[in-house]
Structure 1
C-alpha cells in the first residue's frame, strides 16, 4: 500500500487535512510531519479507531464514514433542536424536569438548547467532518484504506465544509459545539483542552488555519467522489 506523504509545499493537501487539525494536534500529530503516524503504531491506531469510533476493519470503517457523511451528530442535534422548538417555555421546563433522572438525555437536551439559534445553518456538521478527515488519515496509516482513497474522501469532506461555513472561525465554533454535544459533557473544564487547541489554530501565525486560505480551491486536478461506498 502506497504511503500518503504530505509535504510543506503541498499546500492543497495540507489545506484538505487541516479540517481534522484539532484531532491531529490532540493526538500529538503536527502539520510539520504531514500528520504522519509512525509505522510502528499501526496496532495502536487500530485500537484507537475501535475504542473511539467502533471501527474494527474495512467494513466497519466504510459504515462509520457513511454514517458521518449522511447523518453524524448533526442529525441528533437537529432532531432535538426541532423538538425543543415545538415546546412552550413551560412545557420545555417540564420536559427537563422529567429528564432530570437521566443524566445523558438531560445533558444532551440542555446542550442543544444552549447552542440552538447560535450556530450557522449547518449546525454541528463541522464536528462530523473533522472526525471524518481524521479517520480517513488514520485508517490509511492503520492499513485499512489506500492513499488515493484517503485523500479523495478527505477532499470531499473539506470541500463540503467550505460550502457549509464561511471561514475558519465559523467552522471552529460549530466544531467545538459538536464535540461538546458528542461527549455530552457540559462543563467548561471538560471542553478547555479543545478550546485551547482551537484558539491556537485560529491565532498562531504559523498554524495551518492562519496560513491556509479557507476558500482555497480544493477541487483543481482532483476527482471528487463524496460517498465512501460509491463506485
Structure 2
C-alpha cells in the first residue's frame, strides 16, 4: 500500500450498505439522504430504508420512542413531523433565548418571555406547556454552554431535524410491518419538499439537524446538554468529506 492509500485509509470510514438491496430511484436516493446523519452515526444502511431490526424489536422501539403502538398511530406520527414537528417550537423559542443572552437585563426579559410564551404558542397552534418546556430547556442549555458545539449563528430553522426523523421513523415502520413501502416513500418525499427550500446545501442541512437534536434534548431531558452532539457532528463531517457519502454524490 502506497503512502496515499495509507493516508486515505486513515482518514476515511466506510458507510454501511445493505447487500442485495433494490436499486433506488433518484427520488428515493435523495429521500434517504435526508436521514444520512442517523445512518452514519448508527451504522444503518445508506441504500435501504431499514434498521435491519426484526418486527418485534422495531415495534418495541416505536412504542417507546414514538408512541406508535399499531397501524392506527402511524398517520399521527407522520403528521406531527410533516406538519408541525419541533421546528415550530424552535422558531418561537430560539429568538427569545438569543434576546435573553444579548440583553443586559436577561433575567427580567426571561420572566417577560415566560409570561407571554404560552399565549404566543397557542396563537401559533402549538402546545403552550411544551413551548414553556422548550423555552426553559433551551435557555438552560445556553446557560451551561450547551450551544458551544453548535453553529454560530444558529440556523433560522431546524426543519432538517424533522425531515431526517421522517426517514428514521419510516425505517422502523417498515421493519415493524406497519406501513407499505409506497406509504413510507411518499412520506419521505414530502420531507424532501419541506427541507430543500430551507437550506443552501447539505452542510447547512446537516448542521441544522444537529441543532435540532440539541434543541429536542434540551426540552426532553433533565440535562439540557446533549451528550451525543459530538457523535452527530462527526457524522455530519464524514458525510461532507468521506468517499461514498450520498451528500457528495447528490447535489442538494
Relative to the length of structure 1, the TM-score reads 0.74
Cα distance in 2 between the residues matched to 1:160 and 1:212? 17
Q: Structure 2 vs 1, CA of residues 22 and 97 (structure 1 numbering), >3 Å: closer, same or farther? A: same
Report how far residue 144 of structure 1 moved: 0.9
Between Structure 1 and Structure 2, how many residues are aligned? 205
Note the aligned Cα RMSD (angstroms): 3.2
Structure-1 residue corresponding to 2:238? 200
Gaps of 5+ in 2: 1-19, 115-131
Deviates more, 1:168-177 or 1:78-87: 78-87
* Distance (whole Å) between structure 1 residues aligned to residue 234 and residue 99 of structure 2: 35
> 1:187/1:129 Cα in 2 relative to 1: closer, same or farther (>3 Å)?
same
How has the CA–CA distance of structure 1 residues 204 and 106 changed in structure 2, closer, same or farther, with 3 Å as cutoff?
Answer: same
* Contact preservation (8 Å) 1:42, 1:142: yes
- Name the counterpart of 2:139: 109
- Where structure 1 has 5 or more consecutive residues not aligned to the other structure, the ranges are 215-231
TM-score when normalising by structure 2 = 0.69
Q: Where do residues 1-231 of structure 1 align in structure 2 (5 Å cutoff)?
A: 7-8=22-23, 10-32=25-47, 34-38=48-52, 41-84=54-97, 89-94=103-108, 106-111=136-141, 114=147, 118-121=153-156, 123-184=157-218, 187=225, 189-214=227-252
Tell me the equivalent position of 1:221: none
In terms of Rg, which structure is larger?
Answer: 2
Is the Cα–Cα contact under 8 Å of residues 141 and 225 in structure 2 kept in the other structure? no
